[in-house]
Amino acid sequence: QKIKALHKQNMLSLFAAASLVFTLPTAPLAPAAPAVARSTAPQMMDFFGGLQQGLAKVMAGSYDEAEVKGLIERQIKMKPCIMYSMSTCPFCSKAKEAITSMGSLYTVVELDEEDNGMAIKAELAGITGQTSVPQVFIGGEFIGGCNDGGIGGVMPLKSTGELEQRLIKAGALVPGARI
């Protein structure tokens, strides 16, 4: 009984912390145009996805949301190809190897090595709807992670040849060139 009560108390604390992140607007909001290209897949109400995004914000601690979001949006806009990654993530390593093997030049932001990495991850969740890594953008468009998300992910797009075409179009890869 004591363990059940402790577990229930921990779960209530978790939901209370997550609820601090979610607030309802007091006035109707006009839809804003997205600052960066997002997936065209239909957005569905996903309780657990929202909970994960809320927990990412809680874990990030206190930070200037507008400043971090602006930083991410500038990076996505200015870099032909950028990957947000964790240095120990096997899916990140696989995606890096796939892009590197093509001879592409790209930027990697290792979130676990950046001072504001958890804040970046939390704001990325708001932009992409995903809390997992890697998160890869090419030509300002979120293409997904290693195997899914966005418009399919690195590996599926590579297998169809679409990844190479997108990298060339964005200026991150010269046709026929290998580094």
What is 28-74 written as a DSSP string? Answer: --PPPPPSSB---SPP---HHHHHHHHHHHHHH-S--HHHHHHHHHH
Strand bridging mode 141-144 / 135-138: antiparallel
List Cα–Cα distances, 162 to 4, 35, 158, in angstroms: 51, 24, 6
- pLDDT single digits (tens) 24-34: 444 444 444 44
Q: Are 104 and 163 in contact (CB under 8 A)?
A: no
pTM over 0.75: no
Q: What pLDDT score does 25 carry?
A: 43
- pLDDT single digits (tens) 142-169: 999 999 999 999 999 999 999 999 999 9
Q: What pLDDT score does 63 carry?
A: 85
What tokens appear for 138 in the block? 């090419």
Strand, helix or coil for residue 81: strand
d(CA 177, CA 117): 33
Per cent of the chain over pLDDT 70 is: 64
Q: What pLDDT score does 158 carry?
A: 97
- pLDDT single digits (tens) 89-108: 999 999 999 999 999 999 99
Query: Torsions phi, psi of 42, nearest 5?
Result: -60, 135
Q: What pLDDT score does 31 carry?
A: 46
